[in-house]
């Protein structure tokens, strides 16, 4: 399974990661590499918790993610 994650550098220089497909699934790390590694673990645990609770993993109806290119 491939999921898109978003990395942002915070005011303290740490990298904060979120997963748009999994609201509430957030992690962080001192480096990009560490943040990505931590996020993979967070996603695994998030999906495991959804499964254990019997909750489905699916997109909300009517929402679609699209990548666009804009010239500046």
Domain ranges of the chain: 6-52
Beta bridge partners of 18: 6, 26
| Phi-psi region at 54: left, alpha or beta (left = phi > 0; alpha = psi -120 to 50) | left
2 pLDDT more than 90: no
pLDDT digits (tens, 9 = 90+) for 26-63: 999 999 999 999 999 999 999 999 888 887 666 556 66
Q: Which two tokens stand for residue 58?
A: 């699916």
10 pLDDT more than 80: yes
Q: What pLDDT score does 59 carry? A: 56
Q: What pLDDT score does 62 carry? A: 67
16 pLDDT more than 70: yes
Structural contact between residues 16 and 7, judged by C-beta atoms closer than 8 angstroms: yes
| Residue 70 backbone phi and psi in degrees, to 5 | -130, 130
Q: How many CA atoms lie within 13 A of 47 on its CB side?
A: 12
């Amino acid at each position: 399974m491939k999921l898109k994650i978003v990395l942002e550098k915070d005011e303290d220089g740490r990298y904060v990661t979120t997963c748009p497909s999994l609201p509430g699934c957030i992690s962080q790390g001192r480096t990009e590499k560490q943040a990505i590694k931590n996020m993979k673990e967070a996603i695994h645990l998030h999906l495991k918790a959804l499964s254990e609770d019997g909750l489905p993993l699916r997109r909300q109806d009517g929402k679609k993610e699209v990548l666009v290119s804009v010239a500046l």
